[in-house]
Amino acid sequence: MTPVQKRGWLSLLLCIAVVVIDQLVKFEIKTNFALYESYRITDWFQLVFTENRGMAFGMQFVGTMFLAIFRIVAIAFFALVLVRLVRRKAPWGVVVCVAMVIAGAAGNIFDNFFYGLIFSESLPAAAPATLVPFGEGYGSFLTGRVVDMFYFPFFTWPDWVPLLGGDVFFGAIFNVADASISCGAVALALFYYQYLAETGVFRLRCHA
């Protein structure tokens, strides 16, 4: 197997693994928790079921359909970048990081595409959602809500801290896909910025 083929297969298998794990966790939460139900594992780690209509990490300032379209465009762009990296036999770490970004976006867009079609609606203090016949769910194509569940309330800022006093440090609720995107993007910025700047793989042009 050539170096290009090895990088290509690694990218594909990593994307599949992240999406499968992400969807398995979401399915378990969606079908076993009522909306906003929580389960305390430790003082600093809880499972809290929320549904995100907007951006990652619980932010909800854009519409679900708009975000789904944005994710499709982002996946297409990063897929093009990944193809360039694979063909250039880029460092393994760069390939892995870009594949993680793609996999995370794909995991969340699966929710946007299908959850509204295949699940009943999750409600607070109610029975967990169930699978329903295709097309009889709580929404339509591109309007499914992304399932979030991981909550790490590491500590609460003291009241005397300006602006942050009383707030929870890292109060975001997120999922496996969000973590994949964030870890991949942060690692690229920290460890591979120079390589990406020198090679220009993120520049849009007609040839790969």
Active-site residues: which are they?
148, 178
Coil/strand/helix, residue 74: helix
Residue type, 179: A
Whole-angstrom distance, CA of residue 119 vs CA of residue 139: 9
Backbone angles phi, psi at 70, to 5 degrees: -60, -40
Q: Is the dihedral of CA 63, 112, 104, 192 positive or negative?
A: negative
Whole-angstrom distance, CA of residue 73 vs CA of residue 60: 19
Chain mean position to CA 161: 31
Q: Which tokens in the block code for residue 205?
A: 């042009």
Whole-angstrom distance, CA of residue 83 vs CA of residue 68: 23
Chain mean position to CA 147: 10
Residue type, 38: S
